[in-house]
Chains A and B, each alone.
Chain A
């Protein structure tokens, strides 16, 4: 599983720590990259700003996207992702507390691949993260890199 990274876009420090913990328990902790707001996420994905040194073709395997983010909202990040040729096929899993219909609708309308609600029970959370990791990092196959 080398070179397979997960981009977590999450502003809440506790959630970030708990997600990291859950991934670590499943041995995929060291492949986690965290962006703490929407702008940072876009910088990473398009290799701009603080991430201009990054190889844009070494994209993350999957993006775990929270919806409520400062600066640029989760949906806006998703929209820009999908609008850009380089990133439009990137698998995006919306990982959020909300179960409101509007969020689900908007998520899928803007091109999310999946919508997962963060449970309060941590054990359930760990289990969920494990399944996410197994699926997106191992089972799922991305299109070949663009030349």
Chain B
């Protein structure tokens, strides 16, 4: 602002004092300088004020920011508090787990001790088993040897059986031929030289013939006996009652003159070889037929025995019977309890039956008395 050096109107001054006028102009210039300074100061203050206001603004913003930060921090503290309580929960569970773990550890230690004991026992057992193994190996070797021995024996048996078969064949064929000659030419003599032979001579020749025929019968029976032992056993279900009936019919047709009553129980069955069992039944029934031939009438029975737990069958007749004192000779081969004059036969029949019954795993025994019949019991 320019200082007016002109005299302002307002100030009306006496003109006589120049000194006073210079003092007032200086005071005037000094006041104007102070006003200038003051204006400058004012401007500086205003600037200062604006700056302070800016600072206040900034401070306000900062305050808001800090309030925000404070809220954030409070949130964080809240979260932190909940995290803290979760962590404390975890800590609890973790402590529980550590407790359980400590228990488990104790149990495991217990188990470990037990396992160690077991391992110790196991070591012992192992040693025992190894010892046992050694024994077993020895036993196996011995058994193998025994088996080989058995197989060798079997081979020998089979060879022996084959030899036996060849022998039987030879017997059946070759022994009969000379017998035929003996019988045939004796007969030829009897026929062609009948007029030159007296009764004694004829009797001699008859004995020769009978002896030859008897030998043939013995050969046949021996062969049958050996065949029973040799041949294979076929197992079938058999109707023994029907078998007995058929044999009875055969016997009656062969000698219709005889009066014999057959009492055959029905429904008697068994499992066994059809050929062999038929041979056994024939033997027993033919025996009954033969040994009742001395009586005018006879009764032959075939049935099941009611006594004992053993399911046994029997053939009974009321014929000549036998002396029970010699009962143990009944089943011996070629053993007879009667002479050939009383009853013909080779004495092999019952031995054959016994062998057949035994091959089927059964037993046979007899009861009887002289002239009071005989009963033959058997099981299969």
A residues near B (Cβ < 8 Å) are: 12, 14-15, 18, 21, 67-68, 96-100, 102, 118-123, 125
Interface residues of B in 129-184 (CB under 8 A from A): 168-169, 172-174, 176-181, 183-184
Whether B172 and A14, one on each chain, are in contact in the complex, defined by CB atoms closer than 8 angstroms, is: no
Nearest-neighbour CB distance to chain A for B230, whole angstroms, equals 11
Scoring A97, A120, A121 by chain B CB atoms within 10 A of each residue's CB, the highest score goes to A120
A136 to B179, CA, bound (A): 27
Tell me whether A120 and B216 are in contact (CB under 8 A).
Answer: yes
Interface residues of B in 197-222 (CB under 8 A from A): 209, 212-213, 215-216, 220
Instruction: Find chain B residues with CB under 8 A from A102 CB.
Output: 169
- State the CA gap A118–B213 with chains docked (Å): 13
Q: A98-B169, A100-B172 are in contact. Are A18 and B177 (CB under 8 A)?
A: no
Contact B169 A125 (CB under 8 A): no
Nearest CB of chain B from residue A93's CB, rounded to whole Å:
17
The answer to whether the Cβ of B101 comes within 8 Å of any Cβ in the partner chain is no
Which 4 A-B pairs rank lowest in CB-CB distance, beginning with the nearest? A120-B216, A14-B181, A122-B184, A18-B184
A-B contact pairs, 28 of them (CB 8 A): A12-B177, A14-B178, A14-B185, A15-B177, A15-B180, A15-B181, A18-B181, A18-B184, A18-B188, A21-B184, A21-B188, A97-B172, A97-B173, A97-B176, A97-B180, A98-B169, A98-B173, A118-B180, A120-B176, A120-B180, A120-B213, A120-B216, A121-B213, A122-B183, A122-B184, A122-B186, A125-B180, A125-B184
Q: Does B379 have its Cβ within 8 Å of any Cβ on chain A?
A: no
In this complex, how many residues of chain B approach chain A with their Cβ under 8 Å: the count is: 23
Asked if residues A122 and B172 are in contact (CB atoms below 8 Å), the reply is: no
Query: In the docked arrangement, what's the CA distance between A121 and B178, Å?
Result: 12
Binding site for A on B (CB under 8 A): 168-169, 172-174, 176-181, 183-188, 209, 212-213, 215-216, 220
Closest Cβ of chain A to B41, distance in Å, is 160
B179 touches A120 (CB 8 A): yes
Q: Residues of B contacting A18 with CB < 8 Å?
A: 180-181, 184-185, 188
Most buried by B among A12, A68, A97, A118: A97
Inter-chain CA distance A120–B177, complex, in Å, is 8
B176 touches A14 (CB 8 A): no
**Set of chain A residues within 8 Å of B185, measured between Cβ atoms:** 14, 18
Closest CB-CB distance, A119 to chain B, in whole Å?
8
CA of A68 to CA of B178, assembled, Å: 14
